[in-house]
Amino acid sequence: MNQKDLLLLGESNLKQNKIEDAYIKAKKLLEYVLNQSKEELVINSLQEVSKENEQRYESLSKEIIKGKPIQYITKSQEFMGLNFYVDENVLIPQPDTEILVEETLKLIKEKYLNKNIKILDLCTGSGAIAISIAKYIENLNNKIEIYALDISKQALEIAKKNAKDNDAKINFIQSNMFEEIKNLKFDIIVSNPPYIETKTIPTLSKEVQSEPIIALDGGQDGLDFYKIINMESPKYLNDDGHILLEIGYNQKESVTKIFEENYKNITCIKDLADNDRVIKIKK
């Protein structure tokens, strides 16, 4: 069977099993199995595929049908134009979270250009947020220290690998939220915390349920981590400092209400689908 026919067969199998974006996933999987780029896949479309690779492609397609995210198969996800290693120990970075990074970069350019600043990334997971910020502020003449925390040792190992692969300097600390950084203060605190209600998780797609529960579960009302950040952040945020948080599409009012206890200047930024996505707070 040639590459083109195998791709069409893979797409058909995924479609029959109601897998979203079947063609995109079938194509990415074939690139991975054959170790070819998008361009090479087109150029070599009539090239015969070995029986071994045919079988491997079929086997991995079945994993996708069972609900395994293709990113956990290819061990790769693009985010902010950078490539990140991912596996079952970390949440897969999503395009919506790029809004959080872009708003943080915008804030740095507007308020902190050519200044020395400290940034904290809570619940860093794969390190995608902290690393992306580090990479895109390289040319701003800032002296910036970035700290990234996670409770998971396994997640931090992945984040360290991603920082090394992307040549980003980050201070990684294993910590349950703020517990291990008692003497530090920051100009910006950024986070994409777990924010899904516990009862909602079993209703999510098989793909999402394959991701680490610890990175999804925000407690009974989905707000546990926002409550912790509101309660603890005043001790760790410099005067005139900012907090930027990703939220669920329906959490604007509830998250805003939590932070009104300690902060007055609270705004919300929408994502490209016009959903509320980022809460921005000024001390």
What's the pLDDT tens digit per position in 226-271? 999 999 999 999 999 999 999 999 999 999 999 999 999 999 999 9
Top-level CATH class of 79-282?
Answer: alpha beta
pLDDT band at 218 (very low <50, low <70, confident <90, very high): very high
Q: What is the mean pLDDT of residues 143-164?
A: 96
* CA atoms of 168 and 161, how far apart (whole Å): 10
Closest to 137 in 3D by CA, of 164, 100, 109 = 109
pTM, whole model, 2 decimals? 0.93
Q: Cβ-count burial of 153 within 10 angstroms (0-12 exposed, 13-18 middle, 19+ buried)?
A: exposed
Q: What is the pLDDT of residue 173?
A: 97
Are 120 and 91 within 8 A, CB to CB?
A: no
Q: To which residue do tokens 């308020």 refer?
A: 111
The residues spanned by each domain of the chain are 3-66, 79-282
> Model confidence over 189-208: pLDDT tens digits?
999 999 999 999 999 988 99
DSSP 110-162: HH-TTSEEEEEEES-TTSHHHHHHHHHTTTTT-EEEEEEEES-HHHHHHHHHH
Q: How many CB atoms are closer than 10 A to CB 150? A: 27
Q: How many CB atoms are closer than 10 A to CB 168? A: 20
